[in-house]
Chain A
Amino acid sequence: MNRFWEKYIILLTLLFFFQGSYCAAEDRLSPLKITGPKVYELYMVIIRDPDAQVLAAEKGDIDVLGDIIRPVDVERLSRNPDLDLSLAQAFHGFFLGFNLRKSPWNMEELRQAAWLAIPREKIVRDLFSGYAAPLSTFLPPASPYAEKDIPLSGFDPVKAREILKNAGWKWDSEGILIPPGTEKSLEKMKLLSPTAQVAPTTAELASRSVESLNDIGIPLELDPMDFATMISRLNEHDFDTYVLAWSMTRDPDSLFAFYHSSMNIKGGYNIPGINDPELDKALEELRWAPDERSAREASSLSQKLLDKKVPAIPIYSRYSIASVNRRWKNIIKSRVSTADNTWSLLSMEPVKGEMVPLHWCLSDEPRSLNPFSAGSAYDWQVMGTIYDGLLAVDPFTLEDIPWLAEEWKIETVTRGDGEKTRLYFRLREDVVWQDGKPFTAEDVKSTILFLRDNMIPRYLDNVRDVIEIAIPDNYSIEITMKGVSYWYLHNIGGLPILPEHIIRNVKDWQNWQPSKLENPVDKTLTQLVGTGPFVFREYRIGEYVRFTRNEKFWLLEQ
């Protein structure tokens, strides 16, 4: 008991400390005022083992360590006076889902009762020592669209039983539920989960959820399995219930993919198989919202409907935790962004004044340095320093802020064949590619057309609705999209923009290895060049990726 309180006090102190530290940072630095990068040389050092990462951070071999997951590591690192930890709400969401295609989970009251029967706060506190937040919305808490006012959120097994009783459910002599209108008790059902060897906390969480649901008479048992097998079963709709975590974004349009009836296909993301006309309508309004205000309204309505219909139970959302060595200053961190972000990369400088290389930990090998096929977070940690998008995201408010585009406009236009969305971007005129060529609207157009015409899977959903691109002048671009949707702005604004003079020679995008090809303009560089703050220099497979500061970067202090 004492140990429990001891842990809890440590956590509360940490949270207080984190809160204080990011508030202070928010007062100090605004992303629009940042100049940089300050560091001349950046090493992204590959260290896979979490224990080795912690030792390297403590020893000072690495300066920045992100993705700290294990509570024991957080506690250890937080005790080290040389390290500054930051904690932020993440875009992660963990859900317990039901198969609504079959009985008994097609009955709404059973799902509502199940929600009330799971003590999420206790489970999360026990399993994560507080380094995760119980989730009561269908969007991650960091999302600016997450609905705050959710009625069905607390643990209340008495109310759960009451809901079932009022709907005509009964219990047999062994306490198993009997559905209304029948005399037959529910049969044993399974909850699919990864094995404890692969995902110990998930397996434990699943086990505790099973116990809680058993307590109100739902005869559920755990069915741990290999993750690929589990995904295959979910894709084939061969399950009763499951637990699964999702990584989402700041935008709420993922709700459409998760719960719209058109996605209720084998291999589709509507795994629960909810097929509800009222919800469909709200999700369609969300997906094709013409502006931000409509998007907010539709998002709110969709979440309220999901809260009522409960196709899945939100369980928890992990915090992002990162550590930075205190020999560095001007770290950018906020409620929704830990210190290991690109803004920190721009502003960080040594406390002692004399410039030294920055060592940034990569928790896994970047699998591909081809921007067309790269998919892992580690690939994009590397390429995110090289390539830029038209818009950036404010690390404090998560709002769009100017980046390669200094102004933008989104409007709905009517043409002969219906309504379309027109995006207008005014580009900065002081941006040059790392090899010295000027950055113009032609680069943006070529990038979008290359991605669309080659039907590159990773970008297909972003660009397939592009029907026309016009370039009124070298620094303006107008993109017309097939339908009406506010999210087109983020689909296009978030694309990495590639140099036209490089991609025009790419014949086989799949096998393109820009980091190994000589740059046609500047022989000292490779073809992995962007407009970003750092220039790629060397990739020693399995060891590190080395960058130097982009001396032509538009935010560099003159």
Chain B
Amino acid sequence: MKNYWIKRIASAFLVLGVVLILNFLLFRMMPGDPVSSIIDPRFSPEAKEQLRKIYGLDLSLSRQFILYAKQMITFRFGISFLTQRPIWEELSSRIPNTVALLGSALILSAIIGTLLGIKAALNRGTVIEKIVLWGGAVSFSFPSFFVQLILLMCFGYLFPIFPLRGTISIPPPTGAMAAVADYIWHMSLPVISLVLLGFGGWALYVRNLMVKVLGEDFILMAKAKGLPSHNIIWGHAFRTILPPVITIFLLALPGIVSGAVITETVFSLHGVGRFLLESVTGHDYPAAGAAFYLLALLTIMSNLIADLAYGFVDPRVRFERRGKR
């Protein structure tokens, strides 16, 4: 068991090292650099050269890599080329909104999708299953910008229940409670839109897993033993499908930090998604490198947690690992 975890952690570090190198190389292999993309006749080639020096782009690639690796390992990410603000400050100002938006959307989509998926599996061939299947497929296949713009038009403009933009009213409300309520009000429509777009995938996935499990012999056995249906569904069938569900959930976790560019744009939210996009397209090497490094770190940690969680929810995994020891 101990050896297993040592191996897993060592391989995680190895992956992180590869990500570190790729982050450095891939951004620099992209055509152009942060300076050459400035196309402004008032910005002469000499002025561009001066900017290149300030950004440290006149240094050799090996020297640039050493500086970059030091920044990443010490978590001192430096200054963004585009905004001239510390990258930590940029990310920390965006992460709360992004986590609030995507975290709540992920949890709500997972809960609603799972419940609907189970409901559909238990009611095979009925109207309920058809509604869930159709609803799931429709929700899963609509483009997000379309759904979000329709929602904004309907509930932000025609029936103005929700605000059109941002996370705060202008002028902002006074008092902590009023500020929290205002924040929730502003975030409601973006979260609802993402739940609408996201629950379908969960519902279809869980429904398929449940249908398969409900046809297994041990479920028949449980029924034959006269166990209450609640016990059969949640204690036997759902518990059996938990490992893949947890895996999907945990692997989606890094996504709640990486942001949602379209949602952030439509609802004018200050989030990580746009920052990532602008960093990459604007050749903001320090910002893009730091953001992708943190995302990689989060993905690796989520994988490790998923491994750990497997052992808790699936006794077979526990026994297997002990057996290997």
CB of B268 within 8 A of CB of A43, answer no
Closest residue of B by beta carbon distance from A512: B84
CB of B168 within 8 A of CB of A543, answer yes
Per the 8 Å Cβ criterion, residues 33-62 of A in contact with B are 43, 45-49, 51-52, 55-56, 58-59, 61
CB of B32 within 8 A of CB of A46, answer no
Query: In this assembly, does B157 line the interface, its C-beta being within 8 Å of a C-beta of chain A?
Result: yes
Min Cβ gap A379→B in Å is 10
Closest 4 CB pairs of A and B: A542-B270, A232-B31, A254-B41, A257-B41
The segment from B43-51, B60-68, B250-258, B298-306 found at the interface with A is B43-51
Instruction: Provide the residues of chain B in CB contact with A244, threshold 8 Å.
Output: 39
Instruction: Provide the residues of chain A in CB contact with B38, threshold 8 Å.
Output: 375
- Per the bound structure, the CA–CA distance linking A226 and B30 in Å amounts to 10
The segment from B104-112, B123-131, B158-166, B227-235 found at the interface with A is B158-166
Min Cβ gap A179→B in Å is 32
Instruction: Provide the residues of chain B in CB contact with A541, threshold 8 Å.
Output: 93, 270
Our pick among B97, B149, B160 for the contact of A59 (Cβ within 8 Å) is B160
CB of A370 within 8 A of CB of B164, answer no
Query: In this assembly, does B208 line the interface, its C-beta being within 8 Å of a C-beta of chain A?
Result: no
Instruction: Provide the residues of chain B in CB contact with A228, threshold 8 Å.
Output: 30-32, 37, 281, 283
The segment from A21-29, A454-462, A522-530 found at the interface with B is A454-462
CB of B32 within 8 A of CB of A460, answer no
- Dominant secondary structure at the A interface: mixed
Per the 8 Å Cβ criterion, residues 176-233 of A in contact with B are 226-229, 231-233
Instruction: Provide the residues of chain B in CB contact with A43, threshold 8 Å.
Output: 170-171
Query: In this assembly, does B311 line the interface, its C-beta being within 8 Å of a C-beta of chain A?
Result: no
Query: In this assembly, does B265 line the interface, its C-beta being within 8 Å of a C-beta of chain A?
Result: yes
CB of A461 within 8 A of CB of B42, answer yes
CB of A542 within 8 A of CB of B48, answer no
Given contacts A48-B274, A542-B166, A542-B271, 16 further A-B contacts (CB under 8 A): A43-B170, A43-B171, A46-B268, A49-B268, A51-B149, A55-B157, A228-B31, A228-B37, A235-B36, A247-B40, A263-B45, A368-B84, A458-B43, A460-B44, A460-B46, A540-B172
- Per the bound structure, the CA–CA distance linking A244 and B40 in Å amounts to 12
Instruction: Provide the residues of chain A in CB contact with B160, threshold 8 Å.
Output: 59
CB of A543 within 8 A of CB of B270, answer yes
Min Cβ gap B179→A in Å is 12
- Per the bound structure, the CA–CA distance linking A235 and B32 in Å amounts to 9
Kindly name the residue among B83, B84, B85 whose own CB sees the greatest number of chain A CB atoms within 10 A: B84
Query: In this assembly, does A294 line the interface, its C-beta being within 8 Å of a C-beta of chain B?
Result: no
> Count the B residues whose beta carbon is within 8 Å of the partner chain — how many?
52
Per the 8 Å Cβ criterion, residues 229-288 of A in contact with B are 229, 231-233, 235, 244, 246-249, 254, 257-258, 263, 265, 267-269
Query: In this assembly, does A424 line the interface, its C-beta being within 8 Å of a C-beta of chain B?
Result: no
Query: In this assembly, does B156 line the interface, its C-beta being within 8 Å of a C-beta of chain A?
Result: yes
CB of B39 within 8 A of CB of A226, answer no
Query: In this assembly, does B153 line the interface, its C-beta being within 8 Å of a C-beta of chain A?
Result: yes
Contacts A233-B31, A460-B47 given; does A543 touch B164 at CB 8 Å: no
CB of B48 within 8 A of CB of A267, answer yes
- Per the bound structure, the CA–CA distance linking A460 and B47 in Å amounts to 6
CB of A461 within 8 A of CB of B47, answer yes
Query: In this assembly, does B25 line the interface, its C-beta being within 8 Å of a C-beta of chain A?
Result: no
Query: In this assembly, does B57 line the interface, its C-beta being within 8 Å of a C-beta of chain A?
Result: no
Closest residue of B by beta carbon distance from A234: B39
Query: In this assembly, does B120 line the interface, its C-beta being within 8 Å of a C-beta of chain A?
Result: no
Instruction: Provide the residues of chain B in CB contact with A249, threshold 8 Å.
Output: 42
- Per the bound structure, the CA–CA distance linking A299 and B42 in Å amounts to 17
Instruction: Provide the residues of chain A in CB contact with B39, threshold 8 Å.
Output: 231, 244, 246, 269
Instruction: Provide the residues of chain A in CB contact with B37, threshold 8 Å.
Output: 228, 231
CB of B85 within 8 A of CB of A513, answer yes
- Dominant secondary structure at the B interface: loop
Query: In this assembly, does A103 line the interface, its C-beta being within 8 Å of a C-beta of chain B?
Result: no
Instruction: Provide the residues of chain B in CB contact with A232, threshold 8 Å.
Output: 31-32, 36
- Per the bound structure, the CA–CA distance linking A461 and B269 in Å amounts to 37
Our pick among A49, A56, A246, A511 for the contact of B41 (Cβ within 8 Å) is A246
CB of B83 within 8 A of CB of A368, answer yes
Instruction: Provide the residues of chain A in CB contact with B281, threshold 8 Å.
Output: 227-228
CB of B268 within 8 A of CB of A59, answer no
CB of B165 within 8 A of CB of A47, answer yes
Instruction: Provide the residues of chain A in CB contact with B266, threshold 8 Å.
Output: 49, 51-52
Instruction: Provide the residues of chain A in CB contact with B44, threshold 8 Å.
Output: 257, 460-461
Per the 8 Å Cβ criterion, residues 352-373 of A in contact with B are 357, 359, 365, 367-368, 370, 373
Query: In this assembly, does A397 line the interface, its C-beta being within 8 Å of a C-beta of chain B?
Result: no
Instruction: Provide the residues of chain A in CB contact with B43, threshold 8 Å.
Output: 457-458, 461
CB of A45 within 8 A of CB of B170, answer yes
Query: In this assembly, does A30 line the interface, its C-beta being within 8 Å of a C-beta of chain B?
Result: no
Can you give 25 contacting A-B residue pairs, CB < 8 Å?
A45-B165, A45-B166, A51-B152, A52-B268, A55-B157, A56-B164, A59-B164, A61-B164, A227-B281, A232-B32, A233-B31, A235-B32, A247-B40, A257-B41, A359-B170, A367-B84, A368-B83, A461-B47, A464-B46, A510-B79, A511-B86, A513-B85, A540-B172, A542-B269, A543-B167
Min Cβ gap A551→B in Å is 20
Our pick among B47, B94, B268 for the contact of A48 (Cβ within 8 Å) is B268
- Per the bound structure, the CA–CA distance linking A57 and B30 in Å amounts to 39
CB of B41 within 8 A of CB of A58, answer no
Interface mask (B69-104 → A, CB under 8 Å = 1, otherwise 0)? 000000000010011111000000110010000000
Query: In this assembly, does B176 line the interface, its C-beta being within 8 Å of a C-beta of chain A?
Result: no
- Per the bound structure, the CA–CA distance linking A229 and B29 in Å amounts to 11
Closest residue of B by beta carbon distance from A245: B39
Closest residue of A by beta carbon distance from B275: A365
- Per the bound structure, the CA–CA distance linking A267 and B51 in Å amounts to 14
Min Cβ gap A184→B in Å is 32
Query: In this assembly, does A316 line the interface, its C-beta being within 8 Å of a C-beta of chain B?
Result: no
- Per the bound structure, the CA–CA distance linking A247 and B44 in Å amounts to 15
CB of B51 within 8 A of CB of A457, answer yes
Closest residue of A by beta carbon distance from B79: A511
Min Cβ gap A386→B in Å is 17
- Per the bound structure, the CA–CA distance linking A543 and B32 in Å amounts to 32
Closest residue of A by beta carbon distance from B156: A55
Instruction: Provide the residues of chain A in CB contact with B86, threshold 8 Å.
Output: 511
Our pick among A229, A265, A458 for the contact of B47 (Cβ within 8 Å) is A458
Query: In this assembly, does A319 line the interface, its C-beta being within 8 Å of a C-beta of chain B?
Result: no
Query: In this assembly, does A547 line the interface, its C-beta being within 8 Å of a C-beta of chain B?
Result: no
CB of B265 within 8 A of CB of A248, answer no
Query: In this assembly, does B54 line the interface, its C-beta being within 8 Å of a C-beta of chain A?
Result: yes
CB of B45 within 8 A of CB of A55, answer no
Our pick among A55, A227, A267, A359 for the contact of B153 (Cβ within 8 Å) is A55
Instruction: Provide the residues of chain B in CB contact with A542, threshold 8 Å.
Output: 93-94, 97, 166-167, 268-271
- Per the bound structure, the CA–CA distance linking A51 and B265 in Å amounts to 10
- Per the bound structure, the CA–CA distance linking A458 and B82 in Å amounts to 13
Per the 8 Å Cβ criterion, residues 365-397 of A in contact with B are 365, 367-368, 370, 373, 375
Query: In this assembly, does B267 line the interface, its C-beta being within 8 Å of a C-beta of chain A?
Result: yes
Closest residue of B by beta carbon distance from A198: B281
Query: In this assembly, does A536 line the interface, its C-beta being within 8 Å of a C-beta of chain B?
Result: no
CB of B32 within 8 A of CB of A229, answer yes
